[in-house]
Amino acid sequence: MKLVFLYGPAAVGKLTVAREVARLIGYPIFDNHLSIDYAARLLEWGSPDYVKLLRALRLFTFRQLAEMGLEGLLFTFIYTPPSSDAFVRQVLEVCAQTGIEPLFVKLEAPREVLLQRVVQPERKALKKLSRPERLLRMLDEEGALEAIPYVESLVLDTAQLSPQAAAQKIVQHYRLARG
């Protein structure tokens, strides 16, 4: 299985680009909010147990889909070092154990663009981060603009590329095709 791991800050367009990649090649999307919303219904958001459940849900899903023979999966994620590093390393371990091929894509855009996008009404409807002050904290204090330093990533600027063009670059770069 190929795991297309799209990461970047809030409002960069991870889900939008994932939808376009899915349209081109048919991979299902595992939006990080699926697991966030599920875990938050059961446990206090941000607590150690919440984080443990969140990671377990994601890793279990990757393992199960690989075992079921799924060709590929699109996954969206906000990388904030160093707190995200343990999870990313767990993903790499699961990939090595199961034969999943991880394909990392870092989406980025200038701060001004992210601040314009974060207040869009559709974000609130999807229960996504929609407060500029929270986005700024994520960018300035939590390192959400950084690349994962120990993996190779295709880097795309979503302010310069349409979602369709970004998806096309991902498909071409990783030589992905509809099954």
Q: Give this prediction's pTM.
A: 0.93
Could you report the per-residue pLDDT of 57-78, keeping only the tens digit for each? Answer: 999 999 999 999 999 999 999 9
> φ, ψ for residue 76 (rounded to 5)?
-110, 145
Percent of the chain at pLDDT exceeding 70: 99
The one-letter amino acid at 88: V
| Range scoring the smallest mean pLDDT among 66-75, 117-126, 162-171 | 117-126
Cα distances (angstroms) measured from residue 97 to each of 59, 92, 94: 12, 9, 5
- Fold type of domain 2-173: Rossmann fold (3.40.50)
